[in-house]
Amino acid sequence: MFGCGQQCPFCKVPCEAGGKTHKQHSAAVHRPQGLGSCRNIHTEKLDETLCTTDVQSEKKFKGTDTEQKWHPYKEYTTYYPDWHIPPDPTKEASDYWKYVLVQYNDKFAQEFKAKPADVPEAWRSITKRQALRGLKEAFNIRGTVSFSSGAAQRLV
């Protein structure tokens, strides 16, 4: 664990803001919300959309924080004022998470007792290489990243 230990309320990606004291939590790359155990209430399928996409959509969410009342994603700061989620999906960077979701869809579904996400067909054509390039660009990671299933599980 690095940073302050807080996680995005939707996708559960850890806060990457520097230091222990900052006004707002933020992360460079958000991931499909299904990886944070978010699911579609009707279909029970894991949610494949990114929070950075949903905060600029008309979609709504609910959970224990909203006392199970529907609340627009656009106004997420009502419940999470200390989180800054920019409505700016960086397509290249999220290739990594798309790849992870395609590869481990069933495992995540099992883990969260949900149904696998409907991943768009285009996601299946993302290669390991593209995924790693997106990851490196997002996090400025040098060298090679191992893609064994163990590594992926640690990273998520």
Which residues in this chain contact Zn ion in the complex, by CB under 5 A? 4, 6, 8, 10-11, 15, 17, 25, 30, 51
| Residue listed under structure tokens 């395609």 | 102
Whether 138 and 28 have beta carbons less than 8 Å apart is answered as yes
Q: In whole angstroms, how close is the CB of 49 to Zn ion at the nearest point? A: 10
79 contacts: CB under 8 Å, gap ≥ 6: 9, 65, 66, 71
When the beta carbons of 81 and 128 are compared against Zn ion, the nearer one is 81
In angstroms, what is the minimal distance from the CB of 146 to Zn ion?
Answer: 24
Instruction: Confirm if 13 and 29 have CB atoms less than 8 A apart.
Output: yes
Nearer to Zn ion, 25 or 109 (CB): 25
- CB nearer to Zn ion: give 90 or 128: 90
Q: Which residues of 103-121 are buried (b: 16+ CB within 10 A; e: fewer)?
A: bbbeebbeebebbbbebee
CB of 53 to Zn ion, least distance (A): 10
Question: Residue 73 or residue 99: which is nearer to Zn ion going by CB?
Answer: 73
Question: Is the CB of 19 or the CB of 150 nearer to Zn ion?
Answer: 19
Smallest separation (angstroms) from Zn ion to the CB of 26: 7
Quickly count: other Cβ atoms within 10 Å of residue 76's Cβ.
20
| E strand spans, 1-145 | 60-61, 71-72
Please state the closest distance from residue 60 (CB atom) to Zn ion, in A.
16
> Residues 132, 145: contact at Cβ < 8 Å?
yes
